[in-house]
């Protein structure tokens, strides 16, 4: 069956629905477990948009207390899971077009969430919808599982699996083609402490552990305006001194590839280090600045298959001489975690700071020879004729790791720039349509 032609014949509906979903600003504001909308109204709106559409299309749906939900089609004992999420990271500044006003330009669909993960979620949904319309018989139950806080703490998907069956196999349309069979482990930790310096009043940067901060600001009790202006000008940096606040701008990027971003906190800390003696600022410069490999802390590692360890010092909060630095790391196979913890402990103890582990997720890995991997790879090759691109491992953490056997599968095509979490996020329309056909083929083959 030529699923791609069916997708092309019905692309207008898919793109219309994708735009409608992308218009919902589903950024987590505040988690409130006592509320009927635990992740906020906008994320709840996105969840109910999907459920309402699915119900109108005749699917079985189930809502788990607005924490997560699923859309189901097919019959049988076994379950194929397709794991998606509806929340998105904050937009940041500098968009060419409003981030929740989706627009197609130069063959690209621009909006926050276009590639991560509302565009791919719609591709997966329409893959199932089109199979249903074509009366394709599925001998397993296929569940599109909709998470609500994948970009933060995964509370939605954790709540879902407290009551719902674990799919036997599955995939997450939240990464790259041809297929992601291995995901690095994820370690998040905070460094906290106090200082007695009177020069620095406040220092703030970053709002998410999994995003390179593109903005940082501070206030001081000393006047460094002239020095700051010279620093920005000499280094060709973007920033400003406004009403007593020193501001600098960098570039957002996903924490799994911090080298693609410009950490604004590093820029500001480097400047301050030249003019004030503050242990918080000194620590940032000695152990963190412009080092995405963790070499300064002596926690770096390289694996031939999963590549380098990466580190993203993402969140900075300094006020009343107390501070927190939030750091997100992605580690490959073979990383000596115990030794790394000893080195981190030694670094913070040296200056009477403390560290606390926030999350510690293991490496997720499925053999390249596993039938799941082979089946999905064949589905990809059928609609791309790409037999050269190698299967991948990544530093990102997708919902695939929430299943015992699942992989990340698309939608980013080989050779395309990865713009997840960045300003002017987009997905090529051609890629979105082709991904839909690939997902149709994958679901069909996995459900035989």
Instruction: Tell me how many degrees the CA angle 438-183-419 measures, rounded to the nearest 5.
Output: 65
Alpha helices in 171-312 (DSSP H): 225-235, 264-273, 279-287
Decide if pLDDT at 207 tops 90.
no
Q: pLDDT digit string (tens) for 150-176?
A: 998 899 999 999 999 999 999 999 999
Decide if pLDDT at 384 tops 90.
yes
Q: Residues 126, 120: contact at Cβ < 8 Å? A: no
Decide if pLDDT at 322 tops 90.
yes
Rounded Cα–Cα distance for residues 289 and 325 (Å): 12
- The average pLDDT across 18-26 equals 98
Helix (H, G, I), strand (E, B) or coil at 39: coil
Q: Are strands 392-394 and 180-183 parallel, antiparallel or unpaired?
A: parallel
- Local confidence band at 333 (pLDDT 50, 70, 90 cut-offs): very high
On the 0-12 / 13-18 / 19+ scale of CB atoms within 10 A, 12 is exposed
Which two three-digit tokens encode residue 446? Answer: 């996995």
Closest CA to 372 of 62, 9, 81, 123: 81
pLDDT on residue 1: 81
pLDDT on residue 406: 98
Catalytic residue among 87, 418, 425, 431: 87
Domain boundaries, the chain: 3-184+364-446, 185-361
Which two three-digit tokens encode residue 20? Answer: 């409608």
- The average pLDDT across 296-325 equals 97
Rounded Cα–Cα distance for residues 19 and 14 (Å): 9
Q: Which residue has the tokens 């050269």?
A: 388
- Local confidence band at 396 (pLDDT 50, 70, 90 cut-offs): confident
Q: Is residue 153 annotated as part of the catalytic site, yes or no?
A: no
- The average pLDDT across 59-85 equals 98
Q: CATH code for 185-361?
A: 3.30.70.360
Which two three-digit tokens encode residue 416? Answer: 């395309």
Catalytic residue among 149, 150, 159, 217: 150
Q: Is residue 87 annotated as part of the catalytic site, yes or no?
A: yes
pLDDT on residue 340: 97
Rounded Cα–Cα distance for residues 85 and 118 (Å): 7
197: left (phi over 0), alpha (psi -120 to 50) or beta: beta
What is the sign of the dihedral through the CA atoms of 313, 314, 317 and 318?
Answer: positive
Instruction: Tell me how many degrees the CA angle 124-258-146 measures, rounded to the nearest 5.
Output: 25
Q: Residues 408, 175: contact at Cβ < 8 Å? A: yes
- Residue 413 DSSP label: P
Question: Crossing angle for the helix pair 11-22 and 41-56, nearest 10 degrees?
Answer: 160
Which two three-digit tokens encode residue 431? Answer: 């890629």
pLDDT on residue 348: 96
Decide if pLDDT at 397 tops 90.
no
- For the chain, the average pLDDT equals 96
Instruction: Give the CATH architecture of domain 3-184+364-446.
Output: 3-Layer(aba) Sandwich (3.40)
Rounded Cα–Cα distance for residues 333 and 218 (Å): 38
Rounded Cα–Cα distance for residues 359 and 189 (Å): 7
Q: pLDDT digit string (tens) for 120-155?
A: 999 999 999 999 999 999 999 999 999 999 998 899
- The average pLDDT across 198-203 equals 97
- The average pLDDT across 370-394 equals 97
Quote the strand ranges of 49-131, DSSP E.
60-64, 68-73, 79-85, 103-105, 108-110
């Amino acid at each position: 069956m030529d699923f791609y032609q069916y997708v092309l014949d019905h692309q207008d509906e898919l793109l219309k629905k994708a735009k409608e979903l992308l218009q919902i600003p589903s950024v987590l504001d505040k988690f409130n477990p006592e509320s009927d909308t635990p992740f906020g109204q906008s994320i709840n709106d996105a969840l109910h948009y999907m459920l309402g559409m699915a119900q109108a299309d005749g699917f079985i749906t189930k809502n788990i207390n607005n924490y997560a939900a699923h859309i189901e089609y097919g019959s049988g004992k076994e379950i194929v899971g397709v794991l998606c999420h509806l929340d998105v990271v904050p937009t940041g500044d500098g968009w060419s077009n409003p981030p929740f006003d989706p627009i197609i330009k130069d063959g690209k669909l621009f909006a926050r969430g276009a590639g991560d993960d509302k565009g791919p979620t719609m591709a997966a949904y329409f893959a199932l919808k089109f199979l249903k319309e074509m009366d394709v018989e599925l001998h397993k139950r296929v569940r599109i599982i909709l998470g609500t806080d994948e970009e933060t703490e995964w509370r939605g998907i954790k709540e879902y699996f407290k009551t719902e069956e674990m799919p036997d196999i599955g995939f997450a349309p939240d990464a790259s083609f041809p297929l992601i069979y291995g995901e690095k482990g994820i370690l998040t930790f905070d460094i906290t402490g106090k200082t007695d310096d009177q020069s620095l009043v406040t220092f703030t940067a970053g709002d998410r552990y999994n995003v390179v901060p593109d903005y940082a600001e501070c206030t001081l009790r000393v006047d460094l305006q002239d020095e700051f202006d010279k620093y920005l000008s000499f280094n060709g940096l973007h920033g400003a001194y406004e009403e007593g606040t020193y501001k600098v701008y960098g570039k957002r990027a996903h924490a799994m590839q911090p080298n693609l971003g410009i950490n604004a906190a590093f820029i500001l800390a480097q400047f301050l280090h030249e003019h004030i003696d503050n242990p918080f600022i000194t620590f940032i410069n000695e152990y963190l600045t412009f080092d995405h490999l963790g070499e300064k802390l002596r926690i770096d590692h390289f694996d031939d298959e999963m590549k380098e360890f990466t580190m993203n010092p993402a969140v900075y909060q300094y006020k009343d001489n107390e501070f927190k630095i939030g750091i997100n790391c992605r580690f490959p196979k073979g990383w000596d975690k115990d030794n790394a913890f000893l080195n981190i402990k030694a670094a913070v103890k040296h200056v009477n700071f403390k560290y606390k582990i926030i999350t510690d997720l293991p490496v997720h890995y499925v053999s390249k020879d596993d039938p799941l991997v082979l089946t999905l790879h064949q589905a990809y090759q059928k609609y791309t004729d790409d037999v050269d691109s190698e299967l991948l491992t990544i530093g990102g953490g997708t919902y695939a790791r929430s299943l015992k056997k699942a992989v990340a599968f698309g939608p980013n095509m080989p050779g395309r720039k990865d713009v997840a979490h960045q300003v002017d996020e987009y997905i090529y329309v051609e890629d979105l349509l082709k991904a839909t056909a690939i997902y149709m083929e994958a679901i069909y083959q996995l459900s035989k």
